[in-house]
Amino acid sequence: MAIKITDECINCGACEPECPNNAIYEGGVEWAIADGTSVKGSYTLMDGSTMDADQRNAPISVDTYYIVPNKCTECQGFHEEPQCAAVCPVDCCVPDEMYQETVDELLGKKDKLHV
């Protein structure tokens, strides 16, 4: 599963620098697949649609930090546990039940993001 940030987020920003995929953004900031990854050109998202890796996308949240599910790998292949959850002082980084993924799928996503 991808990780999500709940409404309990206090906007401390501790999670953002810990993400090896640059999947965490401050509220109101646009995101792109290419941010912090080696992806270039067209990228296929989890839902099968495609987008240009450099395309800027609307923020998922305006008020609090957020995690882009298409970039979150739960730190598989990098760390033993999701680093955002490990450093969050209010435990608001939790599994996102909307994105059920196996360890193999998460590792495959990691490989796509870091060619």
Measured in degrees and rounded to the nearest 5, phi and psi for residue 85 equal -70, -35
Average of per-residue pLDDT values in the chain: 96
Paired strand residues for 44: 50
Task: Work out the percent of the chain whose per-residue pLDDT is above 90.
Answer: 97
Fold (topology level) of 1-106: Alpha-Beta Plaits (3.30.70)
What's the mean pLDDT in 51-56? 97
What pLDDT does 66 receive? 98
3-state class (DSSP) for residue 24: strand
What pLDDT does 1 receive? 74
